[in-house]
Amino acid sequence: MGLFPTGAPLQTPINTQQDIEVKKVGRSFMFDFKTGQFLMKDGQIKDTTKIQALEQWIELCLRTHKDKFNIYKDSGFGCNTEDMINKKLNAFYKTEMRREIEEAILKNEQFTKINSLTLEQKGFNLIVHLEIELKNKSLLEREVKISV
């Protein structure tokens, strides 16, 4: 009798890197952040493309104050930009804001890194310009206006 069992070959396939699929996200619907309404067409809520869903995720993430709403409590979703909007964007606040935004955005598994992030303050508005690299190596550019 040997060290290893003999008999039928192993039936369970071993996953290789090519076999692993990206986790699929469910349906996402078009939302207009200016009006606060879902977009409709012929009486139906419009679906988003994958890119539109990611763009909406970015906007919602930056507009949502972390742990402010019970639905997001302890999920880590959101960004604490609201605390800094009324502050003068000096070097300290810009650095802190960039860190907050990068941390929040990179929680999404579809994003690998932020290539560019600029902040612009206009009155009580903060405008965030982003260029994000996706897992598939394509780039996503987005501008988000956050108001108090």
pLDDT given for residue 112 in this prediction: 95
Whether this model's pTM surpasses 0.85: no
Mean pLDDT score of the chain, rounded to an integer? 82
> What is the rounded distance in angstroms from the CA atom of residue 17 to the CA atom of residue 21?
9
Average pLDDT over residues 58-78: 86
More confident residue, 25 or 128: 128
Q: Which domains are seen in the chain, by residue range? A: 31-147 (3.10.450.40)
More confident residue, 29 or 3: 29
Distances, alpha carbon 137 to alpha carbons 20, 85, 106, 129, 147, in Å: 18, 32, 15, 19, 31
pLDDT digits (tens, 9 = 90+) for 91-134: 888 888 899 999 999 999 999 999 999 998 888 788 999 999 99
Half-sphere exposure of 78 (CA within 13 A, CB side): 18
pLDDT score of 10 more than 90: no
Confidence label for 20 from pLDDT (cuts 50, 70 and 90)? very low
> What is the rounded distance in angstroms from the CA atom of residue 74 to the CA atom of residue 71?
9
Kindly tell me the burial class for residue 98, based on how many C-beta atoms sit within 10 Å of its own C-beta (0-12, 13-18, 19 or more). middle
Q: Specify whether the CB–CB gap between 145 and 59 falls below 8 A.
A: no
pLDDT given for residue 5 in this prediction: 58
pLDDT given for residue 81 in this prediction: 76
Confidence label for 16 from pLDDT (cuts 50, 70 and 90)? very low
